[in-house]
Amino acid sequence: MSPQPPAADRPDGKPILYRTIALTMAILFALVGLLFLFFSGSVLALFNRISASIGIPGGPAEGSGFYLILAVGYMYLVSLIAFLMWRYPRERLLPLLLINGKAASALLSVALLVWDRPLLIYMANAVVDGAIAAGIYLLYRKSAGQRS
């Protein structure tokens, strides 16, 4: 009798948890990118309303052209990387790229929080992207252990 694959693996050897999380991230990142593209003013207005209600200064009222291009381009890229993680779960470089992208976004948000203004949107992005980077790192470590 052949040994059974780990519980987290499908019979074809592809980790279920890893693939499920990767595809979920790809979909969510794409949706956020579309939200930024088509409703950037509404997203910023929401953060500004919340900021005002808790006594934090508001940020810009609208996303500007060049920075909107960069934000949507970034969301496309992280969506693509997450999709490729789902499609090629044994490729070890892909989660490292996503970890670095999300960690850089979180760290830049912290830097802007300190050197620019204490905006809620910077705080939220630092926490969300930092948590995503940490979660992907933990998933990467777990899946690397299963691959050995």
Domain that holds residue 64: 16-147
Q: What is this structure's pTM?
A: 0.85
Report the distance separating Cα 133 and Cα 103, nearest Å. 6
Count of domains in the chain?
1
Please report whether residue 3 resides in a domain: no
Please report whether residue 7 resides in a domain: no
Please report whether residue 128 resides in a domain: yes
Which amino acid type is present at position 21? I
Q: Does residue 62 carry a pLDDT above 90?
A: no
pLDDT tens digits for range 3-43: 433 444 554 555 899 999 999 999 999 999 999 999 998 99
Please report whether residue 5 resides in a domain: no
Please report whether residue 95 resides in a domain: yes
Residue 140 in contact with residue 99, Cβ under 8 Å? yes
Looking at residue 124, its pLDDT comes to 96
Q: How many helices (H) and strands (E) does the chain have?
A: 4, 0
